[in-house]
Structure formats: C-alpha cells, structure tokens
Structure 1
C-alpha cells in the first residue's frame, strides 16, 4: 500500500464521515452505535468494504422518505446489524478457524 492509497483512503473516510454528520441526530446516533458494534464483531472487510457506505445510503433514503430511524432498522438494532453481516466472514470466524487448525495439528 503506497502513500497515495493511504491519502485516497483518508479522503474517502472523511467524505463518508461528512455524510454521516449530515444525517439527522437520531440517525447519526444509531449509525455511530452500529459502527461501534460492527467494528467489534463485523466482517473482515468492514473498513474497505461497501457495508458502512451502504448503511448511510439506506439511512439517507429513510430520511428522504420521512421515516424515523427505528422504522428503518426495527427496534433491535443489533439484530439488524447481525442480519447485514450474517454471510460475511468475521474476525471471530477467522480466530475460531485458527484455533480449530491448531487443535487439528495437536491431535496428529
């Protein structure tokens, strides 16, 4: 990864954060909590993948439709997040696989 890639990544992240900041307060609060949750349990490609920008797109559509944030996500926001990442490999999955591999080596 070169310096240009790092600079471009920072520009994209700042533009993303500006979109989040432009959301109404209730959407912004829920987004920030979702982001924290997803960074703890989320998919391996979260920082560079389409998930976070996709959530902002989804929220912007909810705002345009005049809906409240919980009308868009439902009352259980963690379950909403889990649904978004259900088919994505997570760091927990990679860790479990590495443990399973270590156990397999020890039993041989």
Structure 2
C-alpha cells in the first residue's frame, strides 16, 4: 500500500529505474558518442517531440542508446550516424516513435476550437 501511495505522488519506481538504466548506458559511452546522445536527448526534451506515452518514449531512448552503443563498438564516427544535418536525423529518428506529442494535440485542439467558434464543427 505504501509503495502505491508513493508511486501515486512521485511516479512509477519501475519507470525511474528504467530511466536510470538508460542514463547509465549513455554515461558508459565514449565521450564523443555520449556527447552526441546527450545533445539529441536535450533537443528532444526541449522541442516537445518526445512521445507523451512513457512506454514509447522509453523505447525511443533505449533504441537511441543502442544505436550509439553499436556505433561505438563498430568504430562508426558520430557524423556518419547523424549525417550533415543533425536536426534531420533527430526528426527522422523520432518520427518512428511519435504519437504527435503535445504540439500536435494543441494544434488539433486549436482546429476544433476554431471550428466550434465558427459553427463549422463536424458531426461526430
């Protein structure tokens, strides 16, 4: 009961363990790869492109870590992974996991609100 109460307040312990395991994997990468993953991670966190669904987001971050772990093991240069345009890489990568994110939900909310305001609301 105490665990459920605490999880209700601070979130799932399993999710936090999963995140810490991901962060440990990233920390173990060679500097060049770790820096690249952290840059991608920071961009995703600040851009709103991270999936809202935790399971999808966790899978995305784990796949990101795996991609860079494999590249490091194979000696593949970071630039060969992300290409000339890191933004294009990230947008392509995240598209695989995207649920539209908060920005897409807000766009849809705006469309529906304007439709209601103008009497153009579609019959459901």
Give the TM-score taking structure 2 as reference length.
0.77
Cα distance, 1:18–1:46 mapped onto 2, change above 3 Å? farther
Give the TM-score taking structure 1 as reference length.
0.87
Task: State the number of aligned residues.
Answer: 107
Structure 1 position 51 matched with structure 2 position 57: no
Residue of structure 1 in register with 2:35 after alignment: 29
Residue of structure 1 in register with 2:122 after alignment: none
Contact 2:52 2:102 survives alignment (8 Å): no
Provide structure 2 residue ranges, at least 5 long, that are not aligned to the other structure: 120-124
Structure 1 position 96 matched with structure 2 position 107: yes
Residue of structure 2 in register with 1:10 after alignment: 16
CA RMSD of aligned residues (A): 1.9
Q: Which runs of 4+ in 1 moved over 4 A?
A: none
Contact 2:48 2:103 survives alignment (8 Å): yes
